[in-house]
Amino acid sequence: MSTVWEIPSVHSPPLLLLSLVPACLESSYGAAADDGCSTRQEMAGEEMESGRRAALQRRTVLVVLSVLVVLTITFELLKIKLEELAEGPMEPLMDSMWKELTIMGFIGLISFLASKSGALRGLSCQLYGDAETVAEDVEAIHMLLFLVMCIFLLLVVLLVVLGKKVQANWARLEADCADKAAVVTRALGPTSKGDRRSRLTCSLTLAGLQATGKIEALEYLLLREMFVHPWEEAAPDLPDDFEFARYLTLCLGEELGEIVDVHWLTWAFLELIFVAIYFGFALSAPLKVVAYLGAGYLACGALLIIRFKLARIRTSLLPPDVLNADVNELAPELGLDRDESGALAEVVRPHGAPRPRRARLQPGYLAAPARAGCMPWLPRLFGVANRHERLFWFGAGGPRFVFGCIQMSLLVVALYVAIFGFYISRVILSLELGGVWKGCLFVVGAVPVVAVVGELLPAIITRHIEVCNVEMLKDKQLMVEVERHMKTVKSLAALRLLNMATFCTQFRNLQSEAGGPLPTAAASVNARPSAGASEDAPLLAPDDERLALMREMFETFDSDSSGEISLTELSALLRSLGFAADDELVTFMGQAVDVDGSGDIDFDEFCLLIEGYHRMQSMSIDESITALFELFDKDSSGSISVAEFSDVLNSISSLFSEHDIKELVVEVDTNADGIIDMNEFAVWVRAHSK
């Protein structure tokens, strides 16, 4: 409770002064107390504000870090999906993409640090008289580079999709080539004479490859035949079942990876584009739009010319005038002949007979006179060109020139889209035009991108692969890789046949132990199942409906109606079951199934073979891998030594040389410890299983 001071009613000056002393003291003390209280309140308020600010800052940092974590997880999941999509031959593309993204990210980091550096302020002051202009320009360039990087990533994803679609199209054409007679008859038969002109090569679009045309299938067959059976006398023949589609796919993966891996010369050419853009900025707004759109359509025109050039080269690599070829003249060169009914059919080679060297298809450019070089300086610059390379511009440097155009197109598209979205779109919006006209300009600006990405680049890349990896430009290393893959697949097929033979051998052993005659197929109900199959799974019962189907199948493959299937007929049977069986594998399987040792397969032995096949097919992939692993693991140690691996491969086939087996061991034994465990074996089997 405060004291109330009253001033006495006195009129004496001294008394008046004395009476004012308490009031003055109270006033001074009260003022000082009020000032202290106010200061403490302000300090407390500042502390509370500082605490709230710190808490808000912590929450902001947490939110930003959480968003970054979410973005990182999203990017990692996207990366995993892309790597799964690009698995196999497309892996070089992904490897190059990650490398280029690292480089572009480093460039973006440098531009970001430069924009935040104080050195730019002094430079800006000297040039513009302010401290922000240069920093803002560098920041704008940084954002443009980031946009280019995002568009580049999207284009790479589209390239992966393109690669998968082209790979599927080649696989479809390869499957058609299994029946060469049907391909030739559809394209050149009497019923196709009237509509040849309408059946041109199908358009290759990124949105989806159209159905394979008849002429497209025939041209692919001819390219494949000339690749497998070269016209040069000194060139050795490849196996008839050479996987030409896989070879082209490997070439595609290598080329796409190299396209994404931008060369320094490409960046040097981009510098010229930047100089052109510099002069373009000096134009008025309407002229900027016209120049920009004109450059886009000029690039489309250049790519269209390249596409037509590659189409002409591809035609030159085929036999001349193939659309008007005589079927009877073309058939012997493809290993075809007329059967008794007059229809085209592939010549059946007897089991064990050597493959004859038939007449060879020759490409059209060999018949044309060799062109003299119009530019004598080309050999000094690119080297001496062969007959194949002379089909290109710039001789020996022609294939590389076309590749450089493809690589440059990818970067130009990314730059075109980035500049359009970052700058030209604002210029269009600033024009004094109606909304409809502005919309038309946006559509006109988008047409080159759609044409290049959706049509021109896919067609050019596909045709470039086909004309730059055949004839005199074959990739020997990839051919060896394909042949090694084929040997591995064939050996795995032989191992599965060995698994089937195990069933047959168990059956033979049981009959030998019983000491009785060979029972009928229906009486094999008591035979033991093969390794990996269910123990209680029944075999053929007497009333099994499959017996009638097997009898019908047996009569189908018994082409000479002898009541037995010879080794030649067994080869066709195994192929129908999905085995790419050569003479050696056919002999191997025939010995396993031929219970009575007659050299041929009767109906009961045939039923045994089919039942063994069904047993094998009923296994899951894990059961099949386990059964195959046990075939290699002779000592049941749970691992396969190099000696065991080599012995089994040599025992089932002579496909592999010692060098091949060493390379296979390196492929399978991923940790290089000299021992192949179950995980390594399973990865190898899955990688080469069809």
**Better-predicted residue by pLDDT, 659 or 34:** 659
Mark out the alpha helices in 177-243 (DSSP H runs): 180-188, 214-228
Mapped onto helix, strand or coil, the DSSP state of residue 601 is strand
Which range is least confidently modeled, 26-35, 156-165, 180-189, 538-547? 26-35
Mapped onto helix, strand or coil, the DSSP state of residue 599 is coil
Fold held by 487-688? Recoverin; domain 1 (1.10.238)
User: In this structure, which amino acid lies at residue 406?
Assistant: I
**Residue 362 dihedral angles phi and psi, to the nearest 5°:** -120, 140
Closest C-alpha to 593, from 578, 575, 612, 576: 612
**Better-predicted residue by pLDDT, 294 or 58:** 294
Cβ(670)–Cβ(683) below 8 Å: yes
The model carries a pTM of 0.73
Q: For residue 565, what are the β-bridge partners? A: 601
**Residue 597 dihedral angles phi and psi, to the nearest 5°:** 70, 25
pLDDT of residue 607: 77
**Can you tell me the distance from the alpha carbon of 58 to that of 55, in angstroms, rounded to the nearest whole number?**
5
Cβ(489)–Cβ(688) below 8 Å: yes
Q: What is the DSSP string of 341-363?
A: TS-EEEPPPPTTPPPP--PPP--
Bridge pairing between strands 336-338 and 344-346: antiparallel
pLDDT of residue 546: 64
Q: Give the CA distances from residue 88 to residues 76, 159, 164, 240, in Å, rounded to whole numbers and listed in that order.
A: 20, 15, 11, 24
> Does the pLDDT value for residue 204 go beyond 50?
no
Exposure of 389 by Cβ count < 10 A (0-12 exposed, 13-18 middle, 19+ buried)? buried
pLDDT of residue 439: 92
pLDDT of residue 524: 35
Q: How many CB atoms lie within 10 A of CB 487?
A: 20
Percent of the chain residues topping a pLDDT of 90: 10
Which range is least confidently modeled, 276-280, 424-428, 577-581? 577-581
Which range is least confidently modeled, 125-139, 287-301, 360-374, 672-686? 360-374
Q: Give the CA distances from residue 400 to residues 258, 378, 643, in Å, rounded to whole numbers and listed in that order.
A: 12, 13, 45
Question: Nearest-5° angle of CA 142, CA 148, CA 151?
Answer: 145
> Which band of pLDDT confidence, cut at 50, 70 and 90, is reported for residue 379?
low
As a whole number, the mean pLDDT across the chain is 75
pLDDT of residue 464: 92
493-533 tens-digit pLDDT: 767 766 666 656 555 555 555 444 434 333 333 333 343 33
pLDDT of residue 652: 62
> Does the pLDDT value for residue 52 go beyond 70?
yes
pLDDT of residue 5: 39
